[in-house]
Structure formats: C-alpha cells, structure tokens
Amino acid sequence: MRRFDLAVTCVCCALLGYFAWHAWKGPRGFPYQERLQAKVEVLSGKQTAIATQRQQLEEKVALLRPESIDPDLLDEMARGQLQMARPGDLVVYTNR
C-alpha cells in the first residue's frame, strides 16, 4: 500500500510541476499577459482616435439633416462636388 501512495504522490507532483511550468513559461503564461496588456493600450488609443473622428462626422452629418440643414455647408459641398463657382469667387485647390 505504501508504494501506491508514493506513486500517486509522484504523479500528482509531476502534474503540478507540468501545469506550473506552463503557467510561467508556456504560450499563455505571464509574458503573454504583458504582451496582451500592451496590445490593449495600443488598441485603446486607436479606438479613442476613431471615436473622435466618428463624433466629428456625426456633427457634420447632423448639419445636413433636413430639419437642421446649414445652407452654407450645403452650398460649400455642392460647389465642391460639382466643381463650379460663381464669377468673382476665389477658388483654392488643395491636396487632401
């Protein structure tokens, strides 16, 4: 009976060592957690930039809604799309 207890203890210690090694050095161990944290920080920065850009676009779209259309913005966008100007208008082309 003593040999069986010793064998079970050895197997349990081996399993414990196996899982401990993988927790420390394995592909999903502690260094992986640090890489994930760095990736989260980068993606959070990108998400903030995209949210800001979306907010700006939503504000511009809100100006084009029929209930609150801004005539100046509509005129500017129509002239830009049609590439037309009135006589006497100053036209400045820029690369975007």
Every domain of the chain and the residues it spans: 2-82
Query: Per residue in 23-62, pLDDT tens?
Result: 888 788 878 888 899 999 999 999 999 999 999 999 888 8
13 compared with 82, residue with greater pLDDT = 13
Please check the confidence at residue 96 and state whether its pLDDT lies above 70.
no
Q: What percent of the chain has pLDDT over 70?
A: 99
Grouping H, G, I as helix, E, B as strand and the rest as coil, residue 22 is helix
1 compared with 11, residue with greater pLDDT = 11
- The reported pLDDT for the residue numbered 9 is 94
Choose among 15, 40, 42, 18: nearest CA to 32.
40
Output the CA angle 51-54-56, nearest 5 degrees.
115
